[in-house]
Amino acid sequence: MANRSSARDDMLRSAAHLFRRRGVDATSLADVIDHAGAPRGSIYHHFPGGKPQLVEEATRTAGAAMSAMISAGLASAGPSATVRAILDGFRGELLATDFVAGCPVAPAALDGLHAPRAVAAAGESFSSWEDVIAASLWQRGLTRERSYSLATFAIAAIEGALIMAKAQRSTAALDRTEGELSALLEAVLEASAGR
């Protein structure tokens, strides 16, 4: 049983890895099998729904991993430091992959025309990240509405900066976004604490 679970997990990791670098449409099931080192027939054994199921589950898995990372960062370092860490992580990945790798769930949102459940999984992941950030801001004294507004703004700014960085083949958008978001969060939290 452990081998089955391991092969399935390997295929999910490989799918997420390849989707981030190539996109969903440009990644075939054969690519995932080869990258995972899995037997040819195993993909339909683990994912009887084919590519749409694989895209959905890889997106959910990647989204949950990112959500856990954000939660851990918020708990240990706070909102501003966590935003800097997220952007720094994406910056490192872009540089390491020659500006190919991007957000782990965006490929499903952008290429998921034939996998509506994968698009929904991407949307749920973004919402989860917003929820985690908003909860952290609310716990630090902001109103619920302001917390959600800032959380949405932070995720949207990071996602937009990633797209710009890939297109411009430069980390400038990430660098500027990091500076502005950090300063904004620190100022808002400082003002809230001073009330």
- 4: burial class by Cβ within 10 Å (0-12, 13-18, 19+)? exposed
Cα torsion at 128, 133, 136, 140 (round to 10°)? -150
Per-residue pLDDT in tens (0 to 9) along the chain, 195 residues: 444 458 899 999 999 999 999 999 999 999 999 999 998 888 889 999 999 999 999 999 999 999 999 999 999 999 999 999 999 999 999 999 999 999 999 999 998 777 899 999 999 999 999 999 999 999 999 999 999 999 999 999 999 999 999 999 999 999 999 999 999 999 999 998 876
pTM: 0.91
DSSP 3-state helix, strand, coil percentages of the chain (rounded to 5)? 80, 0, 20
Q: What is the pLDDT of residue 111?
A: 84
Query: What is the pLDDT, as a whole number, of residue 40?
Result: 83
Q: How far is CA 167 from CA 32, 87, 94, 163, 176, in A?
A: 25, 16, 11, 6, 16
